Every structure is written in C-alpha cells, then in structure tokens.
Structure 1
Amino acid sequence: MSAPARILIVDDHPLFVEALQRAILGIFPGTVTREAVSIAAAKTVLAAEPMFDVLLLDLALPGTRSFEGLLELRSLHPSVPIVVVSAYEDPRIVHDVMRYGAAGFISKSADRAEIAAALKDVMDGSLTLPKGYRPPEAPEASEGRGDLADRLKALTPKQLSVLRMLRQGLLNKQIAHELQIEETTVKAHVSEILRKLGVSSRTQAVIEVQRIDFESIIGENHL
C-alpha cells in the first residue's frame, strides 16, 4: 500500500486553509497536510519534514514581496513541486509564476474538480494552469522577465535574502546584523549577486528586481 500524499499549505488566511484542507481530503482521503503562515514558517516545516509531494503557496504573505517567497523556497527545496494558489488571476502573474519555477497555478476561486485535476497533474509530474489560461500579449515584453527569472534562479537562498534587503535600502552593516554574518561576507554575496544578475551596481540590481514586482499589476486591476 502506497504512503499517503503529503501537502504543505503556505497561506495566512485560516478560513481558506481550512476550506482547502477539506477539499483536499474530500478528493484524496488520507492525505497528510501541514500548514505554515509565512515563508519563514514554511522553511521551518520543510527543514523538519522535507518530504512533501506538493507545496501550495499564496503569493500575498506577510514579510515577503512579489515572487521572493517562491524564489526562496524553490532555491532551498528544488525537488518539491510548488503550486501557487492565489486570488490574483492576471495572466501576467500566472505567466511570471511559471517562469520563476512554479509547477502550476490554481485560482482561489477554482472548484473542487479543478483542484483535484490540478493536484493530480502535479503529483504525476506535470504542470498545471488555470482552465482557459492564455499567455499574455506582447511576448517581446515578457521575454526580458523570463531572462531575469533565469538569472534569479542562479542565486543561492542567502543571496536572495541579501538581495531582498538591498531592495529595502539596507546597508552592508545592517544586512550583516540582520543575517548574523560578517560584513565581509555580505560584500562577497553582493559581488556574486551583481555578477549573476549581470549588473554593475547595487542600484542596478534593485532596478532589475523591481521588474518582478507584481503589486503593480494588482494595482492596475483595482483602479
């Protein structure tokens, strides 16, 4: 008899997590689910229990911006398929989620049959996308984001943390304090970040990372 599936749900909305758990257990009885309310909490769970079949991730979590959480978890646990489960269904967000290494995207408005089909596809090793999804127009504009995705995937988890703090405007000394490492180590990380992103300054690195900020898309949809 095969072991039950294991799914980690990373979402800070208790009612949605409970509803998703009920849906999962209704579709796949016996499935073991774990919950985390933040990227930091997810990292703790994964450090103790790394053998999950699927990780379901909400993009809008406290303590992280845009696709940073997805990038960090993908870098730390590349063998765990991550499916973004989000209320934001803009095709540009779905497109970028896949470019940044997700195994799929499920809308929070999906019904039980759609969730079942999506999870089955991912656990079978396939990708899953929302029903009716069409890639965004202007592929020439998204091409640059795809190139940036490839470069960001080359960063280590620690380098992603340093880059996130650069984006917040922190100095090397402040980053060293936050990460509890030497300032010389921060400088080494910054040098590697610049090299991997193909830029020559911290400012250029921050400008590049602003291109993955999906909050601007969300804002457009709420005008």
Structure 2
Amino acid sequence: MSAQTLIVADDHPLFRGALVQALRRILPDARVVEVDAFASLQQAVLEHPAADLVLLDLHMPGTQGFSSLLYLRNEHPELPVVVVSGHEEPAIMQRALDFGASGYIAKSASFDELTRALRHVIDGGVWAPPQLAAAPAADAQERELAQRIASLTPQQFKVFMMLADGRLNKQIAFELDVMEATVKAHVTAILRKLGLIRRTQAALLAQRLLQAENPSLDVPPAEPGEDEE
C-alpha cells in the first residue's frame, strides 16, 4: 500500500494512543494526525485536504451524537469516515452507516478485525461490523430518512442543526450572516427533502441526532395549528 494520511479523532488519550500504535503496525508508512476535540478535527481536515481516512469517536468536546459524522459527510463528502466507538448496539452501528460512514469498528474489536476493516475501507469498501449480521433488520423508513438527512447540503445541514436549539429564523440568519428569507427557503427545502410538514418536527429530529444512545428517528405527526415560523 502507498503511504496514507489518517486522522484519529478521540478525546481519550489512552485509547487514542493505543489506536495510533495499532495503525502504525497496520500501515507503518502512514502519517497519523491526532485530534481530541471537534474544533481541532475541523482544523485538521482543512490542513490535510488530501487525507485518506478519519477514524472518529462519536463523543468528543464540541460535538454530540452523530453531529460530527454528519458534519464530515456534508462538508467533506469525499473523505471516508470510520466510526470507532464504545457503542456496540446494532441500531447505532446501522445508523452510522446510514449517515454515510464508511465503516463502524467497536472499541472492543480485536487487532485482526481492525486490520481487516481498515484495509477494506482504504480499498474503497464499506465495513459493516460482525454484530450487524445477526441483528434484526433495521426499519426501512428510518433508514431512508437517515439517508435523506445525509443528503442535505452543507448550508441546509447547518440550518437543520440550529433548529435543534429552537432558534428563530432571524437568529439563524444573524449567525450565518444571510438574509432571513434565505433561511426560510432553507427550512422549506429541508422539510420537503425530509418529508416533514412542520419546523417543530424538523427540530425534534435534529435533537435526536444529538443522542447517539437513542438512534431512533421516529418523529411524531405534526399537531394542527403548530407554528411554522
């Protein structure tokens, strides 16, 4: 294999160090960049635009749930991301893959499994962990919704995640330095793309993405007369 550039994003020094050591055994010529927070991950991706792979823990300072994965898939769709997490629930693993991860590796995985997974992803494949093979089939509608979320444009995704905080259009417009009409257009496009009716439904769905422990994307129907502002 030719030399690779790998970004390891994990805020636990001991595990990150062990993972880096394993990577050096698997890919001895690789350049490994270590980050321990979402802000430093963003900077590392900008400083290494030709990086070959990000190994991402879902829990780091500055990020919640699947937000960091979705950020990378929206802002840097050409960059493969493998989630390396302590969560071993099949539903969470499947959700990460639905959101565009190129693989999911449990932190309890053996060195051999890590080696197979990394080589498979670097060769252009998608690594599904063995635990998924025996898991019940995921809900088809939720998988489709997850893929729709992953298809949002970078600007739409920013607006979508701001809805999770209950921000008004004028507040979002101020933060993004755009016209309020632009935000309204983005909200309309988000609702259409996700098959939703009310912005309150979109806000609830965005909140779900911040809870990796609860991968459900089930959104209750809109109540009559809900405010669409």
* TM-score > 0.5 by shorter chain: yes
Q: How does 1:193-212 map to 2 (within 5 A)?
A: 193-210=190-207, 212=209
Is the 8 Å Cα contact of residues 74 and 153 (structure 2) preserved in structure 1?
yes
What is the CA–CA distance in structure 1 between the aligned matches of 2:55 and 2:39, rounded to whole Å?
15
- Offset at 1:10? 1.7
- For 1:49, the aligned partner's letter is H
What is the CA–CA distance in structure 1 between the aligned matches of 2:137 and 2:55, rounded to whole Å?
29
**Which of the numbers 214, 225, 229 marks the counterpart of 1:216?**
214
Paired positions, count: 215
4+ aligned runs moved over 4 Å, structure 1: none
What is the CA–CA distance in structure 1 between the aligned matches of 2:45 and 2:122, rounded to whole Å?
18
TM-score by length of 2: 0.84
TM-score by length of 1: 0.86
Instruction: Go from structure 1 to structure 2 and tell me whether the alpha carbon gap of 1:145 and 1:104 turns closer, same or farther (over 3 Å shift).
Output: same
Q: How does 1:1-223 map to 2 (within 5 A)?
A: 3-134=2-133, 136-137=135-136, 139=138, 142-210=139-207, 212=209, 213-216=211-214
What is the CA–CA distance in structure 2 between the aligned matches of 1:124 and 1:49, rounded to whole Å?
20
Give the unaligned 5+ runs of structure 2. Answer: 216-229
What is the CA–CA distance in structure 2 between the aligned matches of 1:185 and 1:38, rounded to whole Å?
31
Give the unaligned 5+ runs of structure 1. Answer: 218-223
- Offset at 1:211? 5.2
Say which structure is richer in helix: 1
Instruction: Go from structure 1 to structure 2 and tell me whether the alpha carbon gap of 1:134 and 1:194 turns closer, same or farther (over 3 Å shift).
Output: same
Identity of aligned residues (%): 43
- Offset at 1:32? 0.3
Q: Deviations over 1:143-174 (max 9, x none)?
A: 12111112112211221111111011112222
- For 2:9, the aligned partner's letter is V
Which deviates the most, 166-175 or 97-106? Answer: 166-175
Q: Deviations over 1:33-55 (max 9, x none)?
A: 11233333322222221111111
Instruction: Go from structure 1 to structure 2 and tell me whether the alpha carbon gap of 1:173 and 1:36 turns closer, same or farther (over 3 Å shift).
Output: farther
